[in-house]
Structure 1
Amino acid sequence: MAVPDVLRPFVTSMVPYDVDFGAPGTHRGMPSTEVTFVLPVGEPLDTAWSDGSDHRVTWSLVSGLHTRPAAIRHNGYQRGIQLALTTAGVRALFGMPAAAWRGELLALDEVAAPGDVRHLPEKLAETDPRQTDPQQWERLVATSLIETLARRGEPAARAEVGRALALLTRGAGVQEVADEVGYSRRRVSDLVRAETGVAPKQFQRLARFDRSKRLLGRVSLAHAATACGYADQAHLTREWQEFAGCTPTTWLHEEFPFVQDLTGGGEVH
């Protein structure tokens, strides 16, 4: 099921998952310019930051913009639905800027008002995960989001903030963004930080990291580094070690153990 048109400015992806890992383990929750919203089915999420802090077991999770990985532990099987929200989506669906969640792991009852999407864990719990088509989870969640959006209207950030974030996502420099939106560099920095919780340069780095993640496994690391605007492969690897807590090749082997080796002559450490 594709994200309904009415939700596309606010939800970039909505993916049901029903995965047998074969054995208990830990999945990395990666930094991004988008806000992660997860609704597990059958078993709650066991989540913490990679250093073990803020450990929680919940039936819902939203994570604000962050620059370190989360650790999601599982017993060998995971079911549920995961969404990626834009910063505009956080405003539209929760009535607050994404900056309010900066670096936080939160449950829905901590951020959602009664009558909005707060009821979704209970609604999903009423389905039988062994017999329910995961597309039913998508329909249930999409319907709830559309209803919430209709009740709330579309409270949005200022248009120039959305323009600035779009330019930063595409790799524009901070001064270029300031010139484009007609504000001083400091003013742009203040607006972006107030909306997202991170400075423009950090947002730009997260966007570049996002782009590289989508390319890994499809092209060599050297090619990904060039395509995404890194100085070289070593620069890409340093950014991955900071944001993901591992090298790109380690992540590929964890997530896609059977993918062809496309490191391009060996991994840079």
Structure 2
Amino acid sequence: MSVAADHVSAALAPFVMSLHAYDLGPGGVHRGLPSSAVTITIPERDPLEIGWVGRRGPGERLRAVVAGLHLDAAELRQAGCTRGVYLTLSPLGARALLGVPAAALAGHAADLTDLVPAMAELPERLAACRSWPQRRELLERVLLAGLDRHGERADRRPLAAALSALSTNDRVQDAARTLGCSRRHLSGAVRSEFGVTPKQYQRLVRFERARGRVVAASLAGRLDLAAIANTSGFADQAHLAREWRAMAGCTLTEWLRTEGPTRPTRPPRQAARARP
């Protein structure tokens, strides 16, 4: 899947981690890896079919997909037009922008128009835009309106501190000690708001940390899985390989071959000289 990322306004920055224009390319298939974020995928025209790797039953066809934190890989199929927009929200962003806790979406997906009636016309409005800047501007307006409706209803600082502590400590007990609370209190707060246990959240963060380093190393042409495993919190390369297969539903090598980044190449010298 090819993407073009863009920045968001300062008001949205605490809640919107990324905003992309995407193209699934030939075949229109994408493997959605486990995520510690809430994701929103809005196809440009054709509905998206989403299924979960390893789960029985047919996939769902949705006009716009909102997925919660999940430890399983998803398979996304988009026939016809394979373009659209893709957002990742911080776990706190679900309540602040959509008015629902991330726990309501954990481990599954829902249609955006069913989840947030106020955004029912967003897919069609995006499809009517003629350029990416127009789509980006529209998305920001809609998200800011959601922030006005839902953003100030509760103090987010304790939950934000909990996520930060879990991300920077290897053990849940150490995170609880950093926060000055019991492990039981921390577990209850995290599970109630985000739909995963603290240990599961740490597992997702560790996986995403490794994924980011795999992508960066692959683009640089210096892929050292043993070093990535060591710096990402895995016991060794074999541990990373087992976790990747368990969570992504494929080996790391298979993912790199089918959906991983490609190393950028320099333009031919002739083309460079012809440039004005």
Q: TM-score range by the shorter chain?
A: 0.7 to 0.9
Contact 1:88 1:157 (C-alpha < 8 Å) held by counterparts: no
- Residues 26-56 of structure 1 show CA distances to partners (whole Å, capped at 9, x for unaligned) of 3101111101111110222121112353511
% of aligned pairs identical? Answer: 41
Equivalent of 2:121 in 119, 122, 142: 119
Q: TM-score, normalised by structure 2?
A: 0.85
Separation in 2, partners of 1:228, 1:185? 24
- Residues 98-132 of structure 1 show CA distances to partners (whole Å, capped at 9, x for unaligned) of 111111111012211x33x33211211323xxxx2
- Taking structure 1 as reference, are residues 156 and 119 closer, same or farther at Cα in structure 2, changes over 3 Å only? farther
Q: Let me know the Cα RMSD of the aligned residues.
A: 2.0
Equivalent of 2:44 in 41, 46, 49: 41
Shift of 1:168: 1.4
Separation in 2, partners of 1:226, 1:245? 22
Partner of 2:14: 9
- Taking structure 1 as reference, are residues 192 and 17 closer, same or farther at Cα in structure 2, changes over 3 Å only? same
- Taking structure 1 as reference, are residues 60 and 93 closer, same or farther at Cα in structure 2, changes over 3 Å only? same
- Taking structure 1 as reference, are residues 134 and 168 closer, same or farther at Cα in structure 2, changes over 3 Å only? same
SS in 1 for 2:7: coil
Identify the range of structure 1 (155-164 vs 87-96) with the bigger mean alpha-carbon deviation: 155-164
Equivalent of 2:74 in 70, 74, 80: 70
Partner of 2:103: 99
SS in 1 for 2:152: coil
Contact 2:33 2:74 (C-alpha < 8 Å) held by counterparts: yes
User: Partner amino acid for 1:134?
Assistant: W
SS in 2 for 1:37: strand
Shift of 1:259: 4.4
Identify the range of structure 1 (82-91 vs 68-77) with the bigger mean alpha-carbon deviation: 68-77
Do structure 1's residue 149 and structure 2's residue 129 form an aligned pair?
Answer: no
Shift of 1:18: 3.4
Structure 1: gaps (5+ residues): 261-269
SS in 2 for 1:39: strand
Do structure 1's residue 26 and structure 2's residue 29 form an aligned pair?
Answer: yes
Equivalent of 2:88 in 84, 87, 102: 84
- Residues 144-185 of structure 1 show CA distances to partners (whole Å, capped at 9, x for unaligned) of 101221233423455222111112123442111111111111
Separation in 2, partners of 1:2, 1:240? 29
Identify the range of structure 1 (117-126 vs 197-206) with the bigger mean alpha-carbon deviation: 117-126
Separation in 2, partners of 1:54, 1:87? 27
Equivalent of 2:189 in 188, 191, 195: 191
Structure 2: gaps (5+ residues): 1-5, 218-222, 265-276
- How many residue pairs get aligned? The number is 252
Partner of 1:159: 157
